[in-house]
Amino acid sequence: MIVLAIESSCDESCAAVLDTETWTLLSDVVHSHIPAMKQYGGIVPEIASRAHLTALPQVVGHALEAAGKNLRQIDHIAVSNRPGLIGALLVGLNYAKGLAWSLGVPFSVHDHIEAHLYSPFLAEVTGNSGPPPFPWVAAVVSGGHTELFYVPSFGAHRWLGGTLDDAAGEAFDKIGKILGLGYPAGPVIDRLVREHREALRGQPSVVFPVARVADYHFSFSGLKSAVALAVESHRRDTADNESPPVSLLAAAQEAILTPIVQQIRKGLTAFPGANPVLTGGVACNSRLRELLPEAHFPIPRHCSDNAAMVAVLAGLKNREHALVASPWSEGASPRSEWLGLGASS
Ligand code: KG4
Ligand code: ZN
């Protein structure tokens, strides 16, 4: 089966083609709208929806061309329909439906978080050694979500906990906004701290408190206020608008990553023998990779939003005889209904 996948839940228009028989990813196109968002310091949902509208036909065209396929060779269309920006999701969903209708092929909708969760299987379809065997203690850490799962086997996840307020990536981005680092700030903070690593050694370091949260939950909104106060007092003390020291960024990054590492480790103790897995945009972070050397991280390109993970999710469901064609009446939703639906929860 040749699957064409479409992803448009946030600010990237993506398309990918997967051959489920040879288990090969034939193409993987990501068109980012971040440049259009930079001037606003974040995502403007209406602009993202309009950008998907114009970009998707070209992105799908490029994905087909790179895969060496034409539309008539597509057997199935997979699309993410939740969670995300509702306007952006609706553009992708309706584009997928229209294409499926005109080609006379089935389409299926998929949860974006579920696609991130199983994205480690992208290693298999790109000719690399696959993910560690189940069970996993897995975290999806992105701009919109920070979710922790116990995954005994494919499709049988148990949601352990998630953020009570901001997501980890959102914390990076909001702190970056306070500091004028542009959007998205996660990669910038990661790079600045890495580049100044030697200079930071031995410097008196700021330490931001990590919120104590019950069970496997997270909380990052207090950190944002703590950083804002620290920046304000730094500016007052230095009497000019000198940019805050990188040590402050390093401390903020550490305060975001520490609870993620702690909760993963707690999960590994509670589920002996499980393998740690991290995905989602924040899993690109080099310091996080350093703090959890035993964990499996997909390559950075596959941690951030992409359609290949949607194609692989459809392919895995097909392999497990669990790929169900969606009805034409299928809608989109800003929320994930899948999170609490694990087989064992
Ligand atoms: O998974 P993703 O591409 O989109 C969502 O589904 O949200 O994640 C985007 C998020 C942004 O908040 C971005 O700042 C963060 O991932 N991010 C990073 C890094 N690269 C991307 N955060 C920390 N360090 C990075 N290197
Ligand atoms: Zn995502």
Nearest atom of ligand 1 to the alpha carbon of 191: 26
Q: Could you tell me the distance, in angstroms and rounded to a whole number, from the CA of residue 200 to the centre of ligand 2? A: 32
Q: Model-level pTM?
A: 0.94
Regions of the chain where pLDDT drops below 50 = 343-345
Question: Ligand 1 in contact with 281 (CB < 6 A)?
Answer: yes
Q: Could you tell me the distance, in angstroms and rounded to a whole number, from the CA of residue 161 to the centre of ligand 2? A: 17
CA–CA separation, 183 and 272 (whole Å): 39
Residue of 253, 282, 292 best suited for mutating to test ligand 1, as the one with most atoms within 8 Å of CB: 282
CA–CA separation, 143 and 280 (whole Å): 8
| Ligand sitting nearest the alpha carbon of 257 | 1
CA–CA separation, 132 and 116 (whole Å): 15
Question: Ligand 1 in contact with 298 (CB < 6 A)?
Answer: no
Phi/psi at 259 (nearest 5 deg)? Answer: -65, -30
CA–CA separation, 305 and 122 (whole Å): 13
Contacts of 329 (CB under 8 A, 6+ apart): none
Using a CB cutoff of 5 Å, list residues around ligand 2, an ion. Answer: 142, 305
**Could you tell me the strand order of the sheet in which 146-151 lies?**
158-162, 146-151, 136-141, 275-279
Q: Would you state the pLDDT for residue 204?
A: 65
CA–CA separation, 42 and 173 (whole Å): 8
Contacts of 244 (CB under 8 A, 6+ apart): 179, 230, 231, 234, 235
Q: Could you tell me the distance, in angstroms and rounded to a whole number, from the CA of residue 93 to the centre of ligand 2? A: 16
Nearest atom of ligand 1 to the alpha carbon of 256: 23
pLDDT tens-digit profile of 209-250? 898 898 999 999 999 999 999 988 888 887 666 677 899 999
Nearest atom of ligand 1 to the alpha carbon of 300: 20
Residue of 14, 34, 142 best suited for mutating to test ligand 1, as the one with most atoms within 8 Å of CB: 142
